[in-house]
C-alpha cells in the first residue's frame, strides 16, 4: 500500500483527499506614532488655516446673527431668531432666492452643452487650435470688475450694442438690456456664459485627455462616425468631469455677487430682476448698517449651499467618489 506524503500545512479529508488550507488574511498594520506625527505636521497648518478662515467666521456669523448689531462694539441687543424669521418672510429675499435658482438652472442648460460642443471640436486637430483655446479661456481670467464695468458700458441704453443696431438699420431691436426686467436675466446669463464657458471647455478638454485613443480607433474600425463615437464613447467617459463641473457651477450660481453688484448696483438689481442672495445680504446688511441681519443672511446662504452640496455629493457624486477611493479589507 502506497503512502502519500502530507505537507505540514495540509489537512486530510475523511475520504483520503488533501484539503487546501484557507488563504491567510494579511494582517493590518497600525499607524505608528512617527507616521501620526508626520501626518499631523503636514496637515496641521492646512487644518488651522481652514478653521481660522472658514469654520471660525461661520460660527461668528451665526453668533452675530442673533443680535441687532451696527458693526462696532460688543453686540448687546439680543433678538434671538427674529433676524432669521424676517429673512424667511421677506419677499425681497424670496425673489433673490428665485433669481439664484434661475441662474443655477440656466447655467447648467446653456453653459454645459456649449462647453461640451466646443471641447469636442477643439479636441480634434485643426489650424489655430491653440489660439482658439486661448481666446475662449481669456474671458475667464479677466477680473470681474473689468468684466462688469465693460459690459455695463457696452449694454447701456446709449452703449455700443444699441449704436451698432441703430446704424445697421435694426433700431427696432435696440432695448434697455440692463433695466428691462424681461431682458435683464437673459443679459446676465449671456455675460456669465461668455465669461465662464472657457473654464468649462478647458476642464472638459483635460478630461478628454484621459480617454484612451484605442477606443475611438476601434469604433472607427467598426464603422462608427465621429458623432457616434462622441455620443457612445467620449461623453459617457467624460461623465465624471461633467458632474464635477456641474457641482462647481451650482455652488458658483448660489454665491454669485460681484458681476451683479458691479453691473446693476444695489438698487437696480432688485427692480431689474437680477438680485441674488449675496447682493441682498450686502444691501440689507452692510449698506443698511444692520450687520447682525447681514450675518444672519450669510448663515442662511451658507446653509442652503451646504445642503445642496451634500445632497449633490450624496446622490450624484457618490459613484465617482466611491470609485476613486480604494481600501483593503
Q: What is the mean pLDDT of each run of 10 residues along the chain (329 residues)?
A: 49 52 59 81 89 90 89 83 92 93 94 91 81 88 91 89 88 86 91 93 90 83 82 87 93 92 79 88 88 92 93 84 52
What pLDDT is recorded for position 23? 60
What pLDDT is recorded for position 70? 84
Burial 225-253 (b: 16+ CB within 10 A, else e): eeeebbeebbeeebebbbeebbbebbeeb
Distance CA 252, CA 258 (A): 11
Distances (CA, A) of 224 to 27, 53, 233: 50, 52, 11
What pLDDT is recorded for position 204? 93
Q: Would you say 81 and 62 are in contact if contact means Cβ atoms under 8 Å apart?
A: no
Output the nine-digit C-alpha cell for 25.
488574511
What pLDDT is recorded for position 328? 43
What pLDDT is recorded for position 286? 86
Distance CA 303, CA 40 (A): 30
Q: Residue 18 pairs with which residues in a beta bridge? A: 12
Domains and CATH numbers, the chain: 90-318 (1.10.3720.10)
What pLDDT is recorded for position 26? 58
Q: What is the pTM of this model?
A: 0.80
SS3 state at 24? coil
Amino acid at each position: 500500500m502506497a503512502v502519500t506524503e502530507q505537507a505540514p500545512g495540509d489537512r486530510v479529508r475523511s475520504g483520503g483527499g488533501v484539503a487546501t488550507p484557507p488563504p491567510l488574511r494579511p494582517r493590518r498594520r497600525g499607524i505608528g506614532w512617527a507616521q501620526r506625527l508626520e501626518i499631523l505636521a503636514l496637515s496641521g497648518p492646512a487644518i488651522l488655516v481652514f478653521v481660522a478662515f472658514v469654520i471660525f467666521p461661520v460660527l461668528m456669523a451665526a453668533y452675530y446673527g442673533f443680535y441687532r448689531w451696527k458693526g462696532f462694539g460688543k453686540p448687546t441687543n439680543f433678538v434671538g431668531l427674529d433676524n432669521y424669521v424676517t429673512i424667511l418672510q421677506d419677499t425681497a429675499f424670496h425673489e433673490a432666492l428665485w433669481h439664484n435658482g434661475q441662474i443655477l438652472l440656466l447655467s447648467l442648460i446653456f453653459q454645459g452643452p456649449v462647453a461640451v460642443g466646443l471641447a469636442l471640436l477643439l479636441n480634434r486637430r485643426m489650424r489655430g487650435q491653440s489660439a482658439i483655446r486661448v481666446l475662449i479661456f481669456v474671458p475667464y481670467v479677466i477680473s470681474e470688475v473689468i468684466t462688469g464695468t465693460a459690459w455695463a458700458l457696452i449694454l447701456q441704453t446709449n452703449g455700443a450694442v444699441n449704436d451698432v443696431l441703430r446704424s445697421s438699420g435694426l433700431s427696432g431691436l435696440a432695448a434697455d438690456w440692463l433695466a428691462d426686467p424681461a431682458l435683464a436675466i437673459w443679459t446676465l446669463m449671456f455675460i456669465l456664459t461668455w465669461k465662464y464657458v472657457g473654464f468649462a471647455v478647458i476642464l472638459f478638454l483635460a478630461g478628454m485627455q484621459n480617454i484612451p485613443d484605442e477606443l475611438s480607433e476601434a469604433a472607427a474600425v467598426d464603422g462608427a462616425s465621429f458623432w457616434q463615437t462622441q455620443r457612445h464613447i467620449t461623453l459617457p467617459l467624460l461623465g465624471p468631469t461633467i458632474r464635477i463641473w456641474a457641482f462647481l457651477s451650482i455652488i458658483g450660481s448660489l454665491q454669485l455677487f460681484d458681476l451683479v453688484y458691479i453691473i446693476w448696483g444695489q438698487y437696480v438689481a432688485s427692480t431689474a430682476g437680477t438680485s441674488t442672495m449675496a447682493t441682498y445680504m450686502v444691501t440689507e446688511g452692510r449698506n443698511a448698517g444692520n450687520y447682525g441681519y447681514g450675518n444672519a443672511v450669510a448663515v442662511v446662504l451658507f446653509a442652503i449651499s451646504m445642503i445642496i452640496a451634500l445632497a449633490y455629493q450624496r446622490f450624484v457624486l457618490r459613484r465617482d467618489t466611491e470609485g476613486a477611493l480604494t481600501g483593503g479589507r
